[in-house]
């Protein structure tokens, strides 16, 4: 699989559950932007050795990516790594986070463990994991709420499984917008709701990275107790600034990412 094929496959799966992302991309194209480039694509997982960051990263590592840096999110009990393509500078960065379950309650740990125990991992190759979505059976709404009380991230993952949590438009490569404020205003004019946690724009030019996102879409999930509306994924926007050496900053800002994680919060929508 080429890098383009890999991200096309992920995009198709992502827009099935996140129709807003396709709508925004179409609006940008209608505005006269010929290519909508991806700054990065993000994934979520648990720290369990069967599915942790290093397992989820397999398909990217096998397709020319390498590890670049890591990040700690102490309050949310998350750890993340970012990967970049070794030679293709136009390929999106990959950001994978994992929930540090051992730092959470015994109850949460047992729900996660029991859930993963229902999956026959011998039949799922690490290469494929990122496309698999939820590998376990119909979720239970009571368990979902137990997870939600402790970690929004855990609850989201329990329902959505392994998939692209967000794609991110590279604002620098858009022809019709010069900055992130213009992008946000355009999105709001078109009826999209922004994640305002920590302000609509996360990060400043001094951080060399400004980011924003629309709130996650919702979709109907069949629980054991019946259908419920649950958050799926969201679309993000990133504007990168040049550093003193003339190069554009290519990393991430933990404090900004911390607030962006909240785009899937059920309470925000």
Q: Which residues of 113-138 are buried (b: 16+ CB within 10 A; e: fewer)?
A: eebeeebeeeebebeebbeeebbeee
State CA 185 to chain mean position distance: 22
Q: Choose the stretch contacting Ni ion; rule: CB under 5 A; options: 16-24, 142-150, 183-191, 231-239.
A: 231-239
- By CB under 5 A, the residues from 57 to 86 that bind Ni ion are none
- Segment interacting with Ni ion (CB under 5 A) among 4-12, 37-45, 79-87, 174-182: 37-45
Please state the closest distance from residue 6 (CB atom) to Ni ion, in A: 18
The interface with Ni ion within residues 189-228 (CB under 5 A) comprises none
User: Is residue 233 close enough to count as binding Ni ion by CB under 5 A?
Assistant: no
- Between residues 111 and 215, which has the closer beta carbon with respect to Ni ion? 215
Q: How many amino acids of this chain bind Ni ion (CB under 5 A)?
A: 2
Query: Residue 42, interface with Ni ion (CB under 5 A)?
Result: yes
CB of 218 to Ni ion, least distance (A): 20
Nearer to Ni ion, 42 or 159 (CB): 42
171 binds Ni ion (CB under 5 A): no
Element housing 65 (H / E)? strand 65-73
Least Å distance, CB 42 to Ni ion, is 5
Dihedral, 176, 194, 72, 132 alpha carbons, nearest 10: -90
Phi, psi of 81, deg, nearest 5: -130, 145
Q: Crossing angle, helix 152-160 and helix 141-150, to 10 degrees? A: 150
User: How many Å apart are CA 137 and CA 84, to the nearest integer?
Assistant: 33
Contacts to Ni ion by CB under 5 A = 42, 236
């Amino acid at each position: 699989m080429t890098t383009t094929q890999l991200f096309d496959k992920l995009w198709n799966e992502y827009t099935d559950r996140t129709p807003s992302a396709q709508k925004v991309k179409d609006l940008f194209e209608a505005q006269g932007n010929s290519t909508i480039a991806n700054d990065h694509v993000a994934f979520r997982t648990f720290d369990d050795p069967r599915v942790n960051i290093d397992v989820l990263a397999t398909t990217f590592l096998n397709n020319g990516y390498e590890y670049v840096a890591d990040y700690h999110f102490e309050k949310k009990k998350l750890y993340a790594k970012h990967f970049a393509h070794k030679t293709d500078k136009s390929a999106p960065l990959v950001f994978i986070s994992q929930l540090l379950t051992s730092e959470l309650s015994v109850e949460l740990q047992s729900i996660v463990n029991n859930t993963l125990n229902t999956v026959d991992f011998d039949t799922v190759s690490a290469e494929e994991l990122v496309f698999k979505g939820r590998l376990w059976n119909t979720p239970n709404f009571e368990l979902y709420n137990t997870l939600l009380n402790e970690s929004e991230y855990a609850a989201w993952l329990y329902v959505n499984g392994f998939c692209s949590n967000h794609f991110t438009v590279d604002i620098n490569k858009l022809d019709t917008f010069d900055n992130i404020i213009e992008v946000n205003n355009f999105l709001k004019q078109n009826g999209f709701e922004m994640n305002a946690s920590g302000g609509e724009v996360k990060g400043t030019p001094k951080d060399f990275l400004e980011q924003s996102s629309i709130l996650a879409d919702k979709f109907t999930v069949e629980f054991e107790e019946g259908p419920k509306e649950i958050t799926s994924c969201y679309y993000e926007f990133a504007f990168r600034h040049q550093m003193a050496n003339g190069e554009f900053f290519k990393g991430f800002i933990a404090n900004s990412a911390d607030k962006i994680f909240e785009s899937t919060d059920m309470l925000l929508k």
